[in-house]
């Protein structure tokens, strides 16, 4: 009996090690992804607590432009290169270099717009922020594929530490220009560290502008546009209907719930290359697990959001707002495997179409409810309904390899 027990225990050890090996990348990637919203949460808390919501609302104007500029200059590179790396792992550096150089003119276009929109005192700092952000985002598909999440965490912590140091050491009353300057410096520091870690990627044998790559990654760019607007259109519309102080408050609330929406992808991102190689049956099985895990995990996340807003920002959500917030995050657990499966089958147009329909619902409902002066509850409802619409549309697309064989 003792021998059998020992054998049984020995037999379990590899399983435990295997589980740890699987869980470790998820844990690191989770920490890595959480760091960015934590930076914004702490950053916004310090500004709101020691200064004003109006000052944070003024900074949000720069933040919204940065989101748009990044969307354009990235041109769908994250999803395009993630799939490309999975298909051609030996061409990692050449693929990255080709897409990097092809997107440089897009970065220049976004930079050229800055002098026409923002105050002269903040223009140079904001341009540095845009350039550094371009470099930082360029390495997302690289460290995701390599699973270098530990290095990323250390880099993000360095940038975070610099940002907090600059805010706390400033004894004078801060301006929006100061905030842009501080944030730009933290982004530049991260860009320098990433450039050192992945120095081999900047060793170009020759520089070519392959414009055709922009056309190939166009579907991913359009999906990025639709996804971005779907999650941010309420924020842009909110700015038209309300003052900077209320806009700053809603940006904080929206940021929390958008993060809850992204957790499903965070859990799966370290295994994206494995998912692209899975059969339909395995993907369906993983999907069922995600649905139930998501229900309980999202409940905990929403409760944490409620407490964080109440304790740190003095923003108390109603029971209805909390309930609506749950349906902003949970649908993504239901349909995330459908998205990856459609990518696997090169069906980006289907994902794009669903994103556009969901965006339309979010835009129209946000516009109507804001016009009726429903304010924060209204835009949260619009966002949740858009997510539920997307969920049902994705569920109508079966995960079945035979269907795609018939199409071919």
Give the Cα separation of 89 and 81 in Å (integer). Answer: 10
Smallest CA-to-CA distance from 369 within 355, 381, 386 is with: 381
Asked whether residue 59 carries a pLDDT value surpassing 90, the answer given is no
Smallest CA-to-CA distance from 301 within 20, 19, 34, 26 is with: 34
323: Cα separation from own chain's centroid: 23
Mean pLDDT of all residues in 289-297? 93
Give the Cα separation of 27 and 149 in Å (integer). Answer: 9
What 3 state SS string does 133-145 have? HHHHHHCHHHHHH
Mean pLDDT of all residues in 49-77? 84
Q: For residue range 238-266, what is the model confidence (pLDDT) as tens digits? A: 877 876 677 778 888 988 898 888 888 87
- More confident of the two residues 117 and 270: 117
Give the pLDDT band (50/70/90) at residue 301. very high
Mean pLDDT of all residues in 143-154? 86
Mean pLDDT of all residues in 364-377? 89
Give the Cα separation of 340 and 271 in Å (integer). Answer: 11
Do the beta carbons of residue 33 and residue 262 sit within 8 Å? yes
Tell me the three state secondary structure of residue 209.
coil
Give the Cα separation of 326 and 303 in Å (integer). Answer: 9
- Count CB-CB contacts under 10 A for residue 78: 16
Give the Cα separation of 344 and 127 in Å (integer). Answer: 36
Helices (H), 75-139: 77-87, 92-113, 120-138
Residue with tokens 């929406």: 261
Q: For residue range 32-41, what is the model confidence (pLDDT) as tens digits? A: 777 777 777 7
Do the beta carbons of residue 399 and residue 345 sit within 8 Å? no
Predicted pLDDT of residue 28 = 75
Mean pLDDT of all residues in 17-44? 72
The alpha carbon dihedral of 28, 32, 37, 41 has a sign of: positive
Give the pLDDT band (50/70/90) at residue 21. low
Mean pLDDT of all residues in 92-117? 91
**In this structure, what token pair is assigned to residue 113?**
């717009």
DSSP state of 288: H
- From the number of C-beta atoms within 10 Å of its C-beta (0-12, 13-18, 19+), residue 247 rates as buried
Mean pLDDT of all residues in 94-117? 92
Asked whether residue 2 carries a pLDDT value surpassing 60, the answer given is no
**Average confidence score pLDDT of the chain:** 84
6: Cα separation from own chain's centroid: 46
């Amino acid at each position: 009996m003792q021998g059998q027990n020992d054998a049984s225990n020995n037999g379990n050890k590899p399983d435990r090690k295997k589980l740890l090996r699987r869980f470790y990348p998820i844990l690191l990637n989770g920490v890595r992804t959480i760091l960015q919203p934590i930076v914004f949460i702490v950053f916004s808390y310090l500004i709101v607590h020691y200064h004003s919501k109006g000052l944070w609302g003024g900074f949000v104007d720069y933040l919204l432009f940065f989101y748009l500029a990044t969307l354009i200059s990235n041109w769908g590179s994250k999803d395009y290169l993630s799939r490309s790396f999975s298909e051609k792992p030996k061409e990692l550096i050449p693929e990255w270099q080709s897409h990097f150089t092809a997107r440089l003119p897009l970065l220049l276009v976004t930079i050229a717009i800055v002098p026409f929109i923002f105050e002269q005192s903040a223009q140079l700092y904001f341009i540095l922020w845009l350039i550094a952000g371009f470099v930082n985002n360029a390495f997302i598909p690289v460290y995701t594929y390599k699973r270098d999440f530990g290095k990323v965490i250390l880099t993000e912590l360095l940038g975070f530490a610099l940002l907090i140091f600059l805010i706390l050491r400033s004894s004078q009353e801060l301006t929006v220009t100061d905030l842009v300057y501080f944030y730009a410096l933290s982004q530049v520091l991260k860009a320098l560290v990433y450039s050192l870690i992945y120095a081999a990627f900047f060793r170009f044998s020759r520089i070519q502008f392959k414009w055709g790559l922009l056309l190939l990654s166009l579907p991913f760019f359009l999906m990025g546009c639709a996804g971005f607007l779907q999650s941010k259109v309420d924020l842009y519309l909110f700015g038209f209907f309300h003052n900077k102080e209320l806009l700053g408050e809603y940006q904080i609330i929206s940021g929390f719930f958008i993060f809850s929406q992204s957790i499903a992808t965070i859990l799966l991102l370290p295994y994206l290359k494995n998912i692209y190689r899975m059969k339909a049956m395995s993907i369906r099985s993983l999907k069922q697990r995600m649905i139930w895990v998501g229900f309980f995990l999202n409940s905990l996340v929403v409760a944490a959001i409620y407490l964080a807003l109440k304790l740190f920002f003095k923003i108390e959500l109603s029971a209805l707002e909390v309930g609506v917030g749950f349906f902003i995050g949970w649908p993504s657990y239901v349909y995330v495997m459908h998205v990856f499966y459609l990518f696997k089958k090169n069906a980006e147009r289907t994902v794009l179409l669903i994103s556009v329909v969901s965006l339309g619902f979010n835009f129209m409902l946000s516009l109507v409810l804001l016009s009726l002066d429903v304010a924060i509850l209204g835009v949260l409802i619009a966002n949740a309904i858009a997510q539920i619409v997307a969920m049902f549309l994705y569920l109508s697309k079966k995960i079945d390899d035979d269907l795609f064989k018939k199409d071919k």
